[in-house]
């Protein structure tokens, strides 16, 4: 397993690519949009550049790392990878179409993993012939810093696929945790309702955004407050996850806070747009 393909050149795709390259893998980042490819190339170079500036890597290592990541537009090249990780938008139809294409293009031994944080793996793989090699591999943002990886096999995922995915996560220096395939898996099922409730508290005027975050940092020993964290994750991502939880469990307790929905509609998505609950 020396070549890895990442499908999607957004924030998570970039982070997974950097993580894999740091661990010595050759990485293909498949991104059909030309502008997104340019952004991905710039951000990946920026991350490795920071490693060099901080003295973590030498100039030759910096140049080698850049060569290990190749950004392409042809998903067909992913067929040569031993492990493919999908990191596109949280849209079921898009993911099902992508995995159908990957299932046809990739040899049977290639593992197909989704970095979904809201959609069940069984739903993504339902209509595919190679369901046994499809699994969830949920990295946290940023993937090259956060130690945790949730591994969520679908109903038809084979034990061999799970074993190889857990081993791959360990080779990346991560701690894999096996969780049941359910909406939001485990981390988001615990974390996003807290963020959502923090947004409700702000909307209802219970406290200022600064004090809501301060209370959780000082009282709960959180390294980052829930509203700060929402900005880091992306309010659009938070909204999609809450919508997925509400739909997946058919339970109104997961109803997204109207304030989050309003901010997303206005284009205030957090750090990536320089404005969310805070300005950056």
Which residues lie closer than 8 Å to 61 by C-beta, 6 or more apart? 52
Query: Do residues 185 and 150 touch, judged by C-beta distance below 8 A?
Result: yes
Torsion angle, alpha carbons of 247, 249, 253, 254, to 10: -50
- Assess whether 18 and 99 both reside in one domain: yes
- Assess whether 155 and 237 both reside in one domain: no
| Catalytic residue chosen out of the listed positions 117, 122, 196, 228 | 117
- Assess whether 31 and 55 both reside in one domain: yes
Q: Is 265 a catalytic residue?
A: no
* Token couple for 265: 């509609």
3-state secondary structure of 5: strand
| Catalytic residue chosen out of the listed positions 31, 43, 86, 150 | 150
Asked if residue 50 is part of any domain, the answer here is yes
Q: How many CA atoms lie within 13 A of 79 on its CB side?
A: 11
| Catalytic residue chosen out of the listed positions 31, 90, 122, 138 | 138
pTM recorded for the entire structure: 0.89
Q: Is 150 a catalytic residue?
A: yes
- Assess whether 59 and 21 both reside in one domain: yes
φ, ψ for residue 172 (rounded to 5)? -85, 0
User: Distance (Å, rounded) from C-alpha 112 to C-alpha 150?
Assistant: 15
- Assess whether 119 and 233 both reside in one domain: no
| Catalytic residue chosen out of the listed positions 114, 115, 122, 188 | 188
Question: What's the pLDDT at 117?
Answer: 82
Query: Do residues 26 and 2 touch, judged by C-beta distance below 8 A?
Result: yes
Give all strands (DSSP E) within the chain, no chain letters: 3-7, 26-30, 69-72, 83-86, 111-114, 134-139, 148-153, 175-178
| Residue where a domain terminates, one of 178, 204, 220 | 178
Per-block average pLDDT, block size 10, for the chain (280 residues)?
91 95 95 95 94 90 91 90 94 95 95 92 95 96 93 97 98 97 94 98 98 98 97 94 93 97 98 96
Q: What is the CATH number of the domain that holds 17?
A: 3.40.50.720
Range(s) of the domain holding residue 29? 3-178
Which of 142, 245, 257 is CA-nearest to residue 204?
Answer: 257
pLDDT tens, position by position, 55-70: 988 999 888 989 999 9
Pairing of strands 26-30, 3-7: parallel
How many domains in the chain?
2
| Residue where a domain terminates, one of 178, 200, 217 | 178
Question: What's the pLDDT at 80?
Answer: 87
Strands of 26-30's sheet in order across? 69-72, 26-30, 3-7, 83-86, 111-114, 134-139, 148-153, 175-178
- Assess whether 17 and 140 both reside in one domain: yes
């Amino acid at each position: 397993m020396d070549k890895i393909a990442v499908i999607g050149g957004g924030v998570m795709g970039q982070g997974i690519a950097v993580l894999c390259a740091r661990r010595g893998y050759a990485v293909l980042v498949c991104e059909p949009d030309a502008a997104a490819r340019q952004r991905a190339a710039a951000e990946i170079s920026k991350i490795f550049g920071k490693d060099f500036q901080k003295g973590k890597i030498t100039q030759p290592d910096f140049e080698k790392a850049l060569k290990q990541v190749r950004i392409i537009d042809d998903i067909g090249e992913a067929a040569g990878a031993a492990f493919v990780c999908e990191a596109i938008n949280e849209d079921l139809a898009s993911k099902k179409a992508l995995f159908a294409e990957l299932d046809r293009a990739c040899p049977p031994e290639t593992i197909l993993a989704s970095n979904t944080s809201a959609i069940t793996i069984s739903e993504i793989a339902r209509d595919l012939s190679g369901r046994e090699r499809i699994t969830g591999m949920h990295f946290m943002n940023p993937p090259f810093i956060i130690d945790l990886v949730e591994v969520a096999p679908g109903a038809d995922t084979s034990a061999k696929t799970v074993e190889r995915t857990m081993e791959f996560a360990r080779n990346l220096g991560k701690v894999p945790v096996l969780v049941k395939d359910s909406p939001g898996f485990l981390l988001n099922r615990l974390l996003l309702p807290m963020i959502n409730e923090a947004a409700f508290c702000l909307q209802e005027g219970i406290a200022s955004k600064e004090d809501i975050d301060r209370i959780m940092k000082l009282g709960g020993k959180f390294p980052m407050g829930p509203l700060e964290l929402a900005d880091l994750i992306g309010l659009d991502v938070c909204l999609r996850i809450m919508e997925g939880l509400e739909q997946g469990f058919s339970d109104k307790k997961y109803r997204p806070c109207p304030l989050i929905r309003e901010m997303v509609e206005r284009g205030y998505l957090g750090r990536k747009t320089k404005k969310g609950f805070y300005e950056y």
